[in-house]
Amino acid sequence: MKRLFAFVGGLLLMMLGIFMIPTPFPLGIVFFPAGLALVMISSPRVRAWVHAMRLKFSLVDQGLSKIEDRLPSRLRQVLVSNAPDEPLKESL
């Protein structure tokens, strides 16, 4: 049940982040990675996909690396453990 709430909450934060990026104060830059980290906590498939995208596209990796310091510690830990130079973990 916790995984479902984390997944749905993460999707909501990601959608909110997408809608808030073009606003005068772009809070979407923080909401989207926070939502992505919540979804990554609840889904190994998403975690593997994000890991592959970070390996393939350096721009994605740079963007996520810049925002890691602004996230709460648990969400930061998810993104740091998913860095391209780290081996992919099955569960968090």
| Residue-level pLDDT, tens digit, the chain, 92 residues | 888 999 999 999 999 999 998 888 888 888 998 999 999 999 989 999 999 999 999 998 998 888 888 888 888 888 888 888 877 776 66
Determine, yes or no, domain membership for 92.
Answer: no
Determine, yes or no, domain membership for 89.
Answer: no
Determine, yes or no, domain membership for 90.
Answer: no
Can you give the pLDDT at residue 26?
84
Can you give the pLDDT at residue 82?
86
Determine, yes or no, domain membership for 58.
Answer: yes
Contact partners, residue 90, CB within 8 Å, separation at least 6 = 44
Determine, yes or no, domain membership for 88.
Answer: no
Q: Are 5 and 43 in contact (CB under 8 A)?
A: no
Can you give the pLDDT at residue 81?
86
Determine, yes or no, domain membership for 66.
Answer: yes
Can you give the pLDDT at residue 91?
62
Can you give the pLDDT at residue 15?
95
At residue 33, what is the residue type? P
Q: What's the angle, vertex CA 45, arms to CA 71 and CA 41, rounded to 5? A: 30
**Domain count of the chain?**
1
Give the domain extent around 70.
2-81
